[in-house]
Amino acid sequence: MLKKFLPAAIWSIIILVLTGIPGSYIPRIHKFWGWIEPDKLVHITIFGILMFLILYGLREKYFFSKNRYWFGIVSVLITSVFGMITEILQLFVFVGRSGSRFDFYADAVGALIGWVGFYFAFRKKIRNA
């Protein structure tokens, strides 16, 4: 059972390492469209991937359950809480980092996008289940 979540666990560790790197080591990108910061796209992407991997670990239960939407909702909540924890760690623990509620919002949006991506990647199996 735990083997199914190994990709999500490894990706979670990668996220923790990336969020712990001091901000001075991260290259700054200037003028990326103007209305969106590249930082938010990174948050959306890495938490979208995490959400996808969590649902991938749950795929057998997700496909054949009548409560599959609860699996999705709980997975979004777990992924979002993990995003909140990383922001709290950046605010109080990691040196040279600062937490942001807007980064947390991007994490939650990424979780939702990951759920939608999972649905579209496996929609035929979901419909046939």
pLDDT of residue 78: 96
pLDDT of residue 2: 74
CA-to-CA distance for 34 and 1, rounded, in angstroms? 45
Q: Among the listed ranges 8-12, 26-30, 52-56, which one has the minimum average pLDDT value?
A: 26-30
60-96: per-residue pLDDT in tens?
887 888 888 898 999 999 999 999 999 999 999 988 8
Q: For the whole model, what pTM was predicted?
A: 0.84
- State which amino acid sits at residue 40: K
Check if the beta carbon of residue 118 is closer than 8 Å to that of residue 54. Answer: no
For residue 31, pLDDT over 80 is answered with no
For residue 26, pLDDT over 70 is answered with no
